[in-house]
């Protein structure tokens, strides 16, 4: 599945626990602040924390962290923010989310104007 903004798609960061409902893997190629991922459907059929993992992070300057915000897609209304996490090129967790369609945005990052991540893994 391709990422909605920046022409990037999302890729794998590791092994999903046997009880995880789902995961998706991809990459980020040259995202600017404000870009967002594609949506995924969480049926909340397990007790697994929603997470976004990064591996191989770099910017056009010097990367140290990225700020990610998880949103629940709400039809015909503003999307619901489920909070921001600072990602130091590892995994960020939001807890067991309710059923719905989710995505994350790149709220910001340190160093440079574009972020590239060789492997992105979303699990829910």
pLDDT digits (tens, 9 = 90+) for 33-80: 999 999 999 999 998 999 999 999 999 999 999 999 999 999 999 999
- DSSP assignment of 25-74 equals EEEEEEEPTT-BPPPEEE---S-PPEEEEEEEEEESS----EEEEEEEE-
Mean pLDDT of 16-39: 87
pTM above threshold 0.85: no
Per-residue pLDDT band for 16 (boundaries 50, 70, 90) equals very low
What's the mean pLDDT when you consider all of the chain?
88
**Per-residue pLDDT, 87:** 98
Per-residue pLDDT band for 19 (boundaries 50, 70, 90) equals low
Q: What is the rounded CA–CA span in Å between residue 122 and residue 117?
A: 13
Is a pLDDT exceeding 60 seen at residue 15? no
């Amino acid at each position: 599945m391709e990422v909605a903004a920046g022409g990037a798609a999302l890729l794998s960061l590791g092994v999903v626990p046997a009880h995880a409902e789902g995961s998706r893997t991809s990459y980020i190629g040259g995202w600017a602040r404000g870009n967002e991922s594609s949506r995924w459907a969480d049926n909340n059929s397990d007790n697994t924390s929603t997470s976004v993992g990064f591996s191989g992070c770099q910017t056009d300057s010097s990367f140290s962290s990225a700020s990610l915000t998880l949103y629940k897609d709400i039809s015909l209304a503003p999307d619901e923010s489920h909070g921001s996490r600072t990602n130091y090129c590892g995994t960020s967790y939001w807890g067991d989310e309710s059923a719905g369609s989710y995505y994350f945005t790149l709220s910001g990052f340190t160093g440079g104007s574009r972020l590239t991540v060789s492997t992105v893994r979303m699990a829910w």
